[in-house]
Amino acid sequence: MVKATAHAFTRRGVLGLLGSLAAARALAQAGSASDTLRLGYQKSSTLIALLKAQGTLEKRLAPLGVKLSWHEFTSGLPLLEALNLDNLDFSADVADTVPVFAQAAGAQLTFVAQEAPSPSAQAILVRADSPIKTVADLKGRKVGFAKAAGSHYLLIAALAKAGLSFKDIEPAYLTPADGRAAFETGAIDAWVVWDPFLAAAQRQTQARVLADGTGIASYQRYYLARTRYAQARPDVLRAVYAELEKAGRWVKQNPAEAAAVLAPVWGLDTATIEQANARRSYRVRPVVAAGLAEQQRIADAFLAEKLLPRRVDTLAVTLFEPGA
Q: Is the dihedral of CA 128, 94, 220, 84 positive or negative?
A: positive
pLDDT digits (tens, 9 = 90+) for 264-280: 999 999 999 999 999 99
Q: Going from the N-terminus, what domains does the chain have, and what CATH number goes with each?
A: 14-116+220-319 (3.40.190.10), 119-212 (3.40.190.10)
Could you count the other beta carbons within 10 Å of the beta carbon of residue 106?
Answer: 18
- The more confidently predicted of residues 108 and 67 is 67
With vertex at residue 291, the alpha carbon angle to CA 295 and CA 3, rounded to the nearest 5 degrees, is 80
What pLDDT score was predicted for residue 46? Answer: 97
pLDDT band at 291 (very low <50, low <70, confident <90, very high): confident
* Residues paired with 70 in a beta bridge: 39
b/e per residue 124-154 (b: at least 16 CB within 10 A): bbbbeebebeebebbeeebbbbbbbbbbbbb
pLDDT digits (tens, 9 = 90+) for 124-176: 999 999 999 999 999 999 999 999 999 999 999 999 999 999 999 999 999 99
Write down the pTM of the prediction.
0.87
Q: DSSP code of 163?
A: T
Return d(Cα 7, Cα 81) in angstroms, integer: 14
Return d(Cα 281, Cα 271) in angstroms, integer: 18
Q: Would you say residue 233 has pLDDT above 70?
A: yes
Mean pLDDT of the chain: 90
